[in-house]
Chains A and B, each alone.
Chain A
Amino acid sequence: GAGVSQSPSNKVTEKGKDVELRCDPISGHTALYWYRQSLGQGLEFLIYFQGNSAPDKSGLPSDRFSAERTGGSVSTLTIQRTQQEDSAVYLCASSFGLLPAYGYTFGSGTRLTVV
């Protein structure tokens, strides 16, 4: 597609429920990143995928968070047993490759509200 697409745009869920957030990167972009933006904070790195390599999960805040990328394209971020502190905007970005010189294209994010 023309840009990075994220769905849903907004999600309200009850505490304790599981949620899935979807990211559809730009076609041909091999690198995909998930970030979390909490109120008043910058973006916090969560996880990174590059081609068929093992993902870098070093930013995931707890084992309730997981992500997968199927076929080197669409990625899903799953949060199990959601907590109120999980409320944030979750942003996805994709890049042509490993080098920062390629730049990054961001989606519009999913605003998650846990009530």
Chain B
Amino acid sequence: AQTVTQSQPEMSVQEAETVTLSCTYDTSESDYYLFWYKQPPSRQMILVIRQEAYKQQNATENRFSVNFQKAAKSFSLKISDSQLGDAAMYFCALAITGANSKLTFGKGITLSVRP
């Protein structure tokens, strides 16, 4: 079975500053994907960034980047130049390739951005 742990329930960041959201996971599989999703009040889960486990290079998407430490099973999200629109819940998730490829989610973290 897979588990995803987000131990910080809430974080706050000043606008234009950088913030890092933590995530650890556990799986015995070797072929998997890791995701960060953003959930604004509209409830729709929006993909922020995705990392393939077999790729050593950390994924980046504009102001968003990850620090993927496979041996430590850690997958943190760094948001640079934080904007007011970044305020939302953020979920870390894991999907194993094969079987039904369902997503296993962490409990999420609420990020607030101070103007």
Considering only residues 68-114 of chain A, those with a C-beta below 8 Å from chain B are 89, 91, 93, 95, 98-101, 103-104, 106-109, 111
**A44 to B4, alpha carbons, bound, how many Å?**
12
Are B100 and A50 in contact, CB atoms less than 8 angstroms apart?
yes
B42 within 8 A of A: yes
- B8 in the interface (beta carbon within 8 A): no
Could you say which of A42, A89, A103 contacts B47, with CB atoms under 8 Å apart?
Answer: A103
Q: Which of B13-21, B65-73, B78-86, B104-112 contacts A (4 or more CB under 8 A)?
A: B104-112
A108 near B44 (CB under 8 angstroms)?
yes
Q: How many Å from the CB of B75 to the closest CB on chain A?
A: 14
Question: Which residue on B lies nearest to A104, using beta carbons?
Answer: B103
Report B-chain residues with C-beta under 8 Å of the C-beta of A100. 32-33, 95-97, 101
Q: How far apart are A30's CB and chain B's nearest CB, in angstroms?
A: 12
Asked if B11 lies at the interface with its beta carbon under 8 angstroms from chain A, I say no
In the assembly, what is the distance between CA of A59 and CA of B45, in Å? 20
Q: Which of A41, A48, A99, A106 contacts B102 (CB 8 A)?
A: A48
Number of interface residues of A (CB under 8 A): 28
CB-CB contacts of A50-80 with B at 8 A, as 1s and 0s?
1000001001000000000000000000000
**In the assembled complex, how far is the CB of residue A58 from the closest CB belonging to chain B, in whole angstroms?**
9
Q: Is the CB of A42 within 8 A of B102?
A: no
Residue pair A89, B33 in contact (C-beta under 8 Å)? no
Contact call A42/B106, Cβ cutoff below 8 A: yes
Which residues of A approach B to under 8 Å, CB–CB? 31, 33, 35, 40-45, 48, 50, 56, 59, 89, 91, 93, 95, 98-101, 103-104, 106-109, 111
Interfacial residues, chain B to chain A (CB-CB below 8 A): 4, 6, 32-33, 37, 42-47, 50, 52, 91, 93, 95-98, 100-108
A-B contact pairs, 22 of them (CB 8 A): A33-B102, A35-B103, A41-B107, A42-B105, A42-B108, A43-B103, A45-B103, A48-B100, A50-B100, A56-B100, A91-B45, A93-B45, A95-B101, A101-B33, A101-B97, A104-B45, A104-B103, A106-B45, A107-B44, A108-B42, A108-B44, A111-B43
